[in-house]
Amino acid sequence: MRVALFATCVNDAVYPTTAIATVTLLERLGIEVDFPAEQTCCGQPQYNTGYRRETEPLVRRMGRAFAGYDYVVSPSGSCVAMVRDNYLRIGTKARTEGRGSELTEVAESLTPRTVELTEFLVDVLGVTDVGAYYPHTVTYHPSCHGLRTLGLGDRPRRLLEAVKGLELVELPGADECCGFGGTFAVKNPDVSAAMGTDKIRNAVSTGAEVLCGADNSCLMHLGGMLRRQDSPIRPLHIAEILATTQAEAHT
Amino acid sequence: MSGTYLGMPAFPTAVRASTKDTQLRANLTHATHTIRDKRAKAVAELDDWAQLREAGKDIKDQTLHHLDRYLLQLETQVTAAGGVVHWATDAAEANRIVADLVKAKGETEVVKVKSMATQEIGLNEALAAEGITAYETDLAELIVQLGDDLPSHILVPAIHKNRSEIRDIFIEAMGRWGRPAPDGLSDNPADLAEAARLHLREKFLRAKVAVSGANFMVAETGTLVVVESEGNGRMCLTLPETLISVVGIEKVIPTWQDLGVFLQLLPRSSTAERMNPYTSTWTGTTGGDGPAEFHLVLLDNGRTATLADEVGRQALRCIRCSACLNVCPVYERAGGHAYGSPYPGPIGAILTPQLRGIQSEVDASLPYASSLCGACYEVCPVAIDIPEVLVHLREQVADQGGKGHRLEAAAIRAAGWILGHPAVLAAGERAASKTRKLHPQKSPGPGIGPWTETRDLPEMPAEPFRDWWKKNRSPKEGR
Ligand code: SF4
C-alpha cells in the first residue's frame, strides 16, 4: 500500500507537530508514509473566498504530487473535504469554460483516494485502539467539514475512547460551528468571535484539560481566543494524542 | 424588494450592534434552540424522511425545469375557475396591480395574510403611499407592524422580541390602529393572544378586500394553498368580498399528489408539527361561498434571472420553512435585521443577492455571511446546497471587484504564485520560523487586523514540517 501524507499548508508552516505525529502514528501502525515535497495547498481558502479559477493550478499540483499513491492521508477534515466535495465541481466548470478535462481527471482520481486521518485509521486500517497512552481529560470538537461534509461520525470519538488513560468528556453544543470558516473569521470578525466565545465557554465548562479537534484551522481560531483569555484549556490535534505512547508520555 | 430595507449597511457592519445586544442574543438563542430541537425530533419520527426530502427536491427541480408550461396550465385553470391572473415583472408592477384593484373597489383598507412575497415587494408601504392601509393579521406580523419594526425571521417575524416587549408594544400601539389593548394586559402568552384576537376581529369583519400569498399553487386545478397555525389566514381568505393573492412564480407545483409530499415536509421543518393546524385551499370563485372576486398576481421580480443560473437556481426550490435559519449559528448571533431583506439567514444570504443583484454593499456582503458550516444544507427539506451557492455567489462578487476585493484578489494571486513554487514556499516558511521571536501576537498585521482583536495569532514553530521531513525521513524517498 503506497500512502502519501498530505500535510496541508497550515500544518506544514504552523503546526508541524501535527504532521510529525501523523507520520509517527502511521509508522507505528506499520504503514510506510511518503511526503511528496511537491505538495503545497489544496486551494480551500481561495475557493471558499470566491477565487475558483485561482485554485485550478493548485488542483493540478495536487494531482501531480499525489499521482500513483493508493491513499492520500491528511490530518485535516476541511482540506480533505475540499478535495472530495469541490474538486469535481472545479473540474466540471473548467471543462464547460473550455479549459479541457485535465482537472476533472485529477478530481476523479483524487476523490476516492483522499481520506482524513481518522477515516484512514478506522475504515482502511480497521483499528480503533492505536496503542496510545494519554492520561488527561479531553473534550472533542468535531469540526463542521469533518462532521457534515465527510460524515466522520463517531470515528474520532471511538479512537479517543480507546486511548489508555484518557478520559473523554462530552462537549455541550459540540455540533455547532466554532466560527472559524477561513476568511469568514476575517470578513465577519464580530460574529466569528461571538461563535468562538460560545464554543470556548462550552469547552471550559467541561473541566477538560484538552480541547481536541481534527482540524488545526479551527483549533488555531479557538486556541487564539483561549490564549487571549488566559484560559486553562489547551487545544490539541487528535493526531498528537493518538501518536503519544506510554514511553513518550513519561518523558 | 422592499424599500424599507434600502440603504442598509453591509452585513459585517450591521451585525456589530446585534452581536453586542445581549437581550436580542438571549431571545434568539432561546427561540432557535427550542425550535431546532423540536424539529429534529419531529423529523426523526419519519423513517422515510430522506426519501421525502429527495422527492421534494425532485418535484421542485422538475417543475422549475418546465416552469413556463406549469404556469400556463395554472393560468388556464385559475381563469376557468373564475379567477383573474395578472403577471408582474417586478415589485413596482405588482404593487401597481394590487393598488389599482383595491382602488377599483373603492376601498382604503385591506387585511393581510402573512406573506413573504408582499414583504419582498414592500406592498404595505406602496399601498400606504396610495392612501390604503394594510392590516397584518398574523400575530407575529402584527407585533412587527404595531412596533413599527421590520420582520427578522421568515416564520416568526417577531422572533427578536420577548413577551414583555410584546406586551409593551400592544399597550402602546394597538389603540392607534384600532381596538386598544385591554386594561392591565399581562405578558402571559394566552392574554397576549386574546388581546390580538379582539383587536383583529373587528378588522376581519370590516374588510372588503384581503391580500394573501400562497405556499403552493397546484397547476392541475388552479388551486392555491396556505399553510398556517393561527386561523387568521382562513378568516382573510373566506370573509372578504375580494381576494388578491400575490405569489412568486416558483411556488407552482404540478399536482395534488405532489402537494402531499410538501404537506409532510413543511410543517415538520418549520414548526416541528406533524401537521399544521390550518391548511386552506382555494380555487377561483364559487357563487355565494367565499370571495366573489379572486385575483392572482404572479410575481417574477428576479426569479427568471435566478432560474437562468445553473448553480444558483436551486434557491428557488425553497419552501420558506425557516429550518435553515433556526440552525444557523451566524443567524443566531447576527439577528435577522442584519441581512437587509425580508429573507434573512442562510436562504436570505443566497436568495436576496440573486433576486436583487449584487451591486449594493449589503447584497455583495451577504454571500460572505456564513462560515460554510453546512448546518443549513443538512436540515433543508428540499436539499438546497446553500454552501455551494454561497461560494458560487462569492465568485460573482469577487469577479465584480470593487471595495476590498482588489486587495484581496492581489493577495490571492500572490499566494497562488508562492503555492505554485514549493521552494519559495519552503523559504518563506523557514523565514517565518527564524523570525518567530519577533512576531507580535496581538498587534494587527496587514489584512488580519480584525483577527487579532479577539484572538492571538499562533506562535510560529522552530522549523516547518518540510524541513523536519528532509532531516528525518528524506532518505526513505524512492525506497
Ligand atoms: S432554504 Fe431550505 S431550510 Fe431554508 S427556508 Fe428554504 S426550504 Fe427551508
pLDDT tens figures, A28-75: 999 999 999 999 999 999 999 999 999 999 999 999 999 999 999 999
Give the residue-averaged pLDDT of A136-158: 96
Chain A CB contacts of B11 below 8 Å: 188
B72 and B85 Cβ atoms separated by less than 8 Å = no
**How far is ligand 1, taken at its centre, from the CA of residue B347, in Å?**
6
Q: Is the model's pLDDT at A251 over the cut of 60?
A: no
Chain A CB contacts of B372 below 8 Å: 48, 144, 181-182, 184
| Beta-carbon separation of B456 and A46 below 8 A | no
Ordered DSSP codes for B87-131: EESSHHHHHHHHHHHHHHTT-SEEEE---HHHHHHTHHHHHHHTT
A208 and A10 Cβ atoms separated by less than 8 Å = no
| Beta-carbon separation of B456 and A190 below 8 A | no
Radius of gyration of chain A (CA): 18
| Beta-carbon separation of A15 and B415 below 8 A | no
Work out which ligand 1 atom sits closest to the CA atom of B319.
Answer: 7
| Beta-carbon separation of B412 and A37 below 8 A | no
| Beta-carbon separation of A61 and B419 below 8 A | yes
| Cβ neighbour number for residue B98 with a 10 Å cutoff | 28
Give the residue-averaged pLDDT of A11-23: 96
**How far is ligand 1, taken at its centre, from the CA of residue B381, in Å?**
7
Residue B358 Cα distances to B93, B302, B393, B396, angstroms: 22, 12, 9, 8
How confident is the model at residue B51, as a pLDDT? 98
Compare all CA atoms of chain A with the CA of B333 and give the residue at the minimum distance: A191
Work out which ligand 1 atom sits closest to the CA atom of B350.
Answer: 1
Closest Cβ opposite residue B458 in set A14, A177, A190: A14
**How far is ligand 1, taken at its centre, from the CA of residue B376, in Å?**
8
Residues touching ligand 1 (Cβ under 6 Å) are B 269, 318-324, 347, 379-382, 384
**How far is ligand 1, taken at its centre, from the CA of residue B323, in Å?**
6
Which residues 7-66 on chain B approach chain A with CB closer than 8 angstroms? 11-12, 15-16, 19-20, 25
B393 and B358 Cβ atoms separated by less than 8 Å = yes
What DSSP designation does A121 have?
Answer: I
| Beta-carbon separation of B460 and A15 below 8 A | no
Q: Is the pTM of this model over 0.90?
A: yes
CA angle centred on B36, ends B341 and B61, rounded to 5°: 60
| Beta-carbon separation of A37 and B371 below 8 A | no
CA distance A207 to A169: 8
A180 and A209 Cβ atoms separated by less than 8 Å = no
Q: Cβ of B107 under 8 Å from any chain A Cβ? A: no
CB pairs under 8 A between A and B: 191
Identify which of B265, B301, B246, B245 has the alpha carbon closest to the alpha carbon of residue B59.
B265
Closest Cβ opposite residue A228 in set B375, B455, B477: B455
Identify which of A134, A140, A144 has the alpha carbon closest to the alpha carbon of residue A203.
A140
Chain A CB contacts of B451 below 8 Å: 185-186, 189, 224
CA distance B170 to A70: 68
CA atoms within 13 A on the CB side of B338: 30
A35 and A72 Cβ atoms separated by less than 8 Å = no
| Beta-carbon separation of B375 and A179 below 8 A | no
CA distance B451 to B468: 29
Reported ipTM: 0.95
Residue A36 Cα distances to A3, A33, A137, B470, B473, angstroms: 10, 10, 35, 11, 11
Compare all CA atoms of chain B with the CA of A221 and give the residue at the minimum distance: B455
* A246 — pLDDT class (breaks 50, 70, 90): confident
Identify which of B32, B263, B272, B228 has the alpha carbon closest to the alpha carbon of residue B138.
B228
CA angle centred on B238, ends B150 and B228, rounded to 5°: 45
> Digits of tens for pLDDT over chain B (479 positions)?
344 677 788 999 999 988 888 888 898 999 999 999 999 999 999 999 999 999 999 999 999 999 999 999 999 999 999 999 999 999 999 999 999 999 999 999 999 999 999 999 999 999 999 999 999 999 999 999 999 999 999 999 999 999 999 999 999 999 999 999 999 999 999 999 999 999 999 999 999 999 999 999 999 999 999 999 999 999 999 999 999 999 999 999 999 999 999 999 999 999 999 999 999 999 999 998 999 999 999 999 999 999 999 999 999 999 999 999 999 999 999 999 999 999 999 999 999 999 999 999 999 999 999 999 999 999 999 999 999 999 999 999 999 987 778 778 888 888 888 888 888 888 888 888 888 777 766 654 445 566 777 888 888 899 999 999 999 997 654 44
How confident is the model at residue B97, as a pLDDT? 98
Q: Which of A11, A190, A215 to mutate to test the interface with B (most CBs of B within 10 A)?
A: A190
**How far is ligand 1, taken at its centre, from the CA of residue B351, in Å?**
10
CA atoms within 13 A on the CB side of B415: 19
| Beta-carbon separation of B15 and A191 below 8 A | yes
Which residues 398-437 on chain B approach chain A with CB closer than 8 angstroms? 398-399, 408-409, 412-413, 415-416, 418-420, 422, 425, 428-429, 432
| Beta-carbon separation of B461 and A17 below 8 A | yes
- Beta bridge partner(s), residue A137: A167
| Beta-carbon separation of A11 and B372 below 8 A | no
| Beta-carbon separation of B368 and A184 below 8 A | yes
**How far is ligand 1, taken at its centre, from the CA of residue B385, in Å?**
10
A189-205 and B11-20 are packed helices; what angle lies between their axes, rounded to 10 degrees?
40
How confident is the model at residue B1, as a pLDDT? 39
CA distance B225 to B259: 9
Q: Is the model's pLDDT at A250 over the cut of 60?
A: no
Residue to mutate, B49, B116, B154, B318, ligand 1, most ligand atoms under 8 Å from C-beta: B318
Give the sign of the dihedral formed by CA B348, CA B350, CA B353, CA B358: positive
Q: Which of A6, A20, A149, A192 to mutate to test the interface with B (most CBs of B within 10 A)?
A: A192
Exposure string for A124-142, b = 16+ CB within 10 A, e = fewer: ebeebebbbbbebebbbbb
Which residues 370-399 on chain B approach chain A with CB closer than 8 angstroms? 370-375, 377-378, 388, 391, 393-399
How confident is the model at residue B406, as a pLDDT? 78
Q: Which of A51, A87, A184 to mutate to test the interface with B (most CBs of B within 10 A)?
A: A51
Give the residue-averaged pLDDT of A184-197: 93
- Show the beta-strand stretches assigned E in A44-166: 71-74, 114-116, 137-141
**How far is ligand 1, taken at its centre, from the CA of residue A227, in Å?**
38
Work out which ligand 1 atom sits closest to the CA atom of B351.
Answer: 1
Q: Is the model's pLDDT at A249 over the cut of 90?
A: no
Work out which ligand 1 atom sits closest to the CA atom of B269.
Answer: 8
| Beta-carbon separation of A48 and B397 below 8 A | no
**How far is ligand 1, taken at its centre, from the CA of residue B380, in Å?**
5
Compare all CA atoms of chain A with the CA of B375 and give the residue at the minimum distance: A148
Grid cell at residue A94: 473548467
CA angle centred on B250, ends B248 and B252, rounded to 5°: 100
Chain A CB contacts of B328 below 8 Å: none
What phi and psi, each to the nearest 5 degrees, are found at residue B246? Answer: -105, 115
